[in-house]
């Protein structure tokens, strides 16, 4: 079994830095790869669809030459509607080559994903080679323990760890991921580093971390890309990452590489873990089916981008003309709240 890369991104997913990261990740994926963007970490916010939509737009813009097919999945909570257990809602997730989750609340994400079909499909897809990109709150949520940011920073709770989704528990890691490591948003009056709670409170948390826990801190606009096939990680972006293990702290700059066992000893099981056979087989079938789907030609992608610019500029006659040109090239265009959906026209 050869799991896909896992990328932890602190911030900047819609920035040029994030765009460069997605371009690098795209280079190792097949042309026309499928992206699933999960709203879950921000599912409690009324604008979660807009937040996820902006990420989708940024990925599409920066990686257009790779022809990604992007789905925004409004799996916002365990309860209906928009359930993290909805089979129909999650169909694009099962087929994804890259899964992205981002900003929101770490503890909310844990509550809505733990044991859910969405989480089990992500585990199955990752173990079958899909890449995971976990940014901001999502990066914090998937650790063995998670930092309750809102509860400490906004509600004044005493610093303590909460159980995380424990993505890496089955391979032997106890990992706590802390995004926004060097945040300075509080200015001179308030220390907002260490994911907004400040160094003093974080140091207290570090002292009570479960035995054997490794802490991975990510500066703003910085990512750690973990590549299981190579057995190595790499620092991407503008800042540094900090690894705290067994009382020792190591800071690695951008472009540095490190062995994955710097985060702890690990072993990739030969058998599927954390997911039942039914879900494993469903994900495998969906991924195989997706690989047989037609891929958008670059010229169609360019026309689609021209049409979107025309629509945003209120030039609807031009947008209609471009739509007809796309249809002449063999693709139907259907507008949805999450953007245009293209499907091949049936011939004959």
DSSP category for residue 180: S
Distance CA 165, CA 312 (A): 39
Q: Rounded to an integer, what distance in angstroms lies between the CA atom of residue 216 and that of residue 319?
A: 47
Q: Per the omega criterion (within 30 degrees of 0), is the bond before 81 cis? A: yes
Q: What is the pLDDT, as a whole number, of residue 337?
A: 62
Average per-residue pLDDT in the chain?
93
Quote the pLDDT of residue 296. Answer: 72
Instruction: Kindly report the number of other CB atoms within 10 A of residue 327's CB atom.
Output: 12
Residues 14 and 59: beta-carbon distance below 8 Å:
no
pLDDT at 348: 39
More confident residue, 23 or 336: 23
Q: What is the pLDDT of residue 199?
A: 96
Both structure tokens of 77: 């909570």
User: What pLDDT digit, counting tens, does each position of 24-60 carry?
Assistant: 999 999 888 999 999 999 999 999 999 999 999 999 9
- Identify whether the C-beta of residue 260 lies closer than 8 Å to the C-beta of residue 233: yes
pLDDT one-digit tens code per residue, 109-161: 999 999 999 999 999 999 999 999 999 999 999 999 999 999 999 999 999 99
Question: What does the pLDDT read at residue 339?
Answer: 67
- By DSSP bridging, strand 131-135 and strand 98-101 are parallel
CB atoms within 10 A of CB 188: 6
Q: How far is CA 330 from the centre of its chain?
A: 32
Q: What is the mean pLDDT of residues 210-223?
A: 98
Assigned fold of 6-291: Rossmann fold (3.40.50)
The residue among 332 and 222 whose pLDDT is bigger is 222
Q: Which residue has the higher pLDDT, 80 or 183?
A: 183
Do strands 175-178 and 257-259 pair parallel, antiparallel, or not at all (unpaired)?
A: unpaired
pLDDT at 96 over 60: yes
């Amino acid at each position: 079994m050869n799991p896909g890369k896992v990328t932890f991104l602190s911030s900047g997913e819609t920035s040029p830095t994030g765009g460069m990261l997605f371009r690098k990740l795209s280079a190792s994926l097949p042309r026309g790869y499928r992206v699933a963007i999960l709203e879950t970490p921000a599912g409690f916010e009324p604008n979660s669809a807009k937040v996820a939509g902006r990420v989708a737009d940024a990925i599409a813009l920066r990686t257009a030459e790779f022809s990604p097919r992007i789905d925004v999945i409004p799996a916002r909570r365990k309860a209906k509607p928009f359930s993290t257990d909805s089979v129909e809602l999650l169909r694009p997730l099962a087929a994804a080559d890259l899964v992205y989750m981002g900003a929101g609340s770490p503890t909310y994400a844990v509550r809505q994903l733990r044991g859910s079909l969405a989480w089990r499909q992500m585990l199955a897809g990752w173990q079958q080679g899909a890449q995971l990109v976990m940014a901001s709150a999502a990066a914090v949520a998937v650790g063995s323990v998670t930092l309750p940011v809102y509860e400490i920073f906004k509600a004044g709770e005493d610093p303590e760890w909460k159980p995380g989704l424990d993505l890496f528990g089955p391979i032997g890691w106890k990992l706590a991921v802390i995004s926004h490591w060097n945040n300075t948003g509080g200015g001179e009056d308030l220390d907002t580093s260490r994911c907004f709670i400040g160094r003093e409170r974080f140091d207290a948390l570090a002292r009570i971390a479960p035995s054997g826990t490794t802490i991975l801190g990510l500066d703003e606009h910085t990512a750690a890309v973990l590549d299981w096939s190579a057995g190595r990680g790499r620092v991407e972006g503008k800042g540094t990452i900090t690894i705290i293990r067994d009382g020792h702290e190591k800071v690695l700059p951008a472009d540095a590489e490190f062995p994955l066992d710097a985060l702890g000893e690990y072993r990739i099981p030969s058998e599927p873990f954390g997911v039942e056979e039914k879900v494993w087989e469903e994900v495998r079938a969906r991924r195989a089916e997706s690989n047989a789907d037609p891929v958008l030609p670059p010229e169609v992608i360019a026309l689609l981008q021209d049409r979107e610019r025309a629509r945003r500029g209120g030039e609807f006659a031009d947008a209609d003309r471009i739509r007809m040109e796309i249809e002449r090239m063999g693709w139907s265009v259907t507008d949805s709240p999450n953007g245009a959906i293209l499907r091949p026209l049936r011939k004959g």
